[in-house]
């Protein structure tokens, strides 16, 4: 079994290759799953490596399924700072919260323990579930805003991002372009809310999520 450090090094190299090439999945070839559709139900490993279907988490009530940015993204840190204060509200509303990340179980387990993520974490390093739920890669403006990204600019990638952040909580890993999303799904497997981020900090308000959970409960 690979060590976490080896997995982190490989994830860093994936980030670099993707950063240099730029986003490629930026357009829909067909309609993504929408509110009123049955949710995709992939089987993904949890942090122990055991495979679980997403439907396990909405079998007895609504679920809020959160697709994360990569672990080094500051936007993910911002989302957790807000979310950790809202989890009890979602639980009181009858919903389970489950998150999907881009890491392998070993890396995900280490990060979840260190950051004290208070929800189950499923692992999708191949991004198949992200794609099944219609989550695109963002254009540079959506991810980096006014930062002047250029393809194949390895010097900037290394000096501004990769090397100074290595070994920190903001270490760059996995996909720099993958947009996140949050979905409320009823116990019948029907999507009640599909919130696909239009930019990194496009966090859905708690009231919107609670409204969708209430609709799923009804």
Other beta carbons within 10 angstroms of residue 97's beta carbon come to 20
Q: Is the pLDDT of residue 54 over 60?
A: yes
> Sheet of 181-185: strands edge to edge?
121-123, 96-101, 63-67, 181-185, 191-196
Which pLDDT value is given to residue 150?
A: 96
**What is the band of 20 on the pLDDT scale with cuts at 50, 70, 90?**
very high
Residue 48 has φ and ψ, to the nearest 5°, of: -90, -10
Strand partners, 71: none
Q: What average pLDDT score do residues 4-28 get?
A: 97
- Per DSSP, the residues of 27-96 read S-SSPPP-TTSBPP--EEEBTTS-EEEGGGGTTTS-EEEEE---TT-HHHHHHHHHHTTTHHHHHHTT-E
**CA angle, 33 then 31 then 174, to 5°:** 70
User: 122-156: string of b/e by CB count within 10 Å (b at 16+)?
Assistant: bbbbebebbbbbbbbbbebebbeeeeebeeeeeee
Predicted model pTM:
0.97
**Which DSSP category does 139 fall into?**
P
**What is the band of 217 on the pLDDT scale with cuts at 50, 70, 90?**
confident
Calculate the average pLDDT of the chain.
96
**Which DSSP category does 36 fall into?**
T
Tens-place pLDDT, residues 168-185: 999 999 999 999 999 999
Tens-place pLDDT, residues 62-103: 999 999 999 999 999 999 999 999 999 999 999 999 999 999
Question: Residue 108 and residue 68: Cα distance in Å, rounded?
Answer: 12
**Which DSSP category does 218 fall into?**
-
Strand partners, 181: 67, 196
Which pLDDT value is given to residue 1?
A: 57
Tens-place pLDDT, residues 127-158: 999 999 999 999 999 999 999 999 999 999 99
Helix axes 105-115, 4-21, angle to 10 degrees: 100
Which pLDDT value is given to residue 180?
A: 98
Q: What SS3 state is found at 67?
A: strand
Give the helix/strand (H/E) hosting 123: strand 121-123
Question: Residue 136 and residue 145: Cα distance in Å, rounded?
Answer: 17
Tens-place pLDDT, residues 30-40: 999 999 999 99
Q: What average pLDDT score do residues 47-51 get?
A: 97
Residue 28, token pair as written in the block: 């829909």
């Amino acid at each position: 079994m690979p060590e976490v450090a080896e997995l982190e090094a490989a994830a860093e190299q994936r980030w670099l290759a993707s950063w240099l090439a730029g986003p490629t999945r930026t357009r829909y070839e067909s309609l993504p799953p929408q509110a009123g559709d049955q949710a995709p139900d992939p089987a993904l490993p949890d942090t122990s490596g055991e495979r679980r279907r997403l439907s396990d988490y909405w079998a007895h009530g609504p679920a809020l399924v959160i697709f994360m940015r990569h672990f080094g993204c500051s936007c993910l840190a911002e989302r957790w700072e807000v979310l950790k204060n809202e989890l009890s509200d979602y639980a009181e509303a009858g919903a389970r919260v489950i998150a999907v990340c881009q890491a392998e179980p070993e890396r995900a387990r280490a990060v979840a323990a260190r950051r004290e993520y208070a929800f189950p974490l499923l692992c999708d390093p191949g991004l198949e579930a992200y794609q099944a739920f219609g989550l695109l890669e963002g254009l540079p403006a959506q991810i980096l805003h006014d930062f002047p990204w250029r393809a194949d600019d390895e010097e900037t990638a290394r000096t501004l991002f990769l090397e100074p952040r290595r070994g920190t909580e903001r270490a760059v890993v996995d996909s720099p372009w993958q947009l996140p999303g949050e979905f409320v799904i009823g116990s019948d497997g029907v999507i009640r809310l599909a919130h696909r981020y239009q930019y990194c900090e496009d966090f859905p308000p708690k009231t919107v999520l609670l409204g969708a959970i209430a609709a799923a409960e009804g």
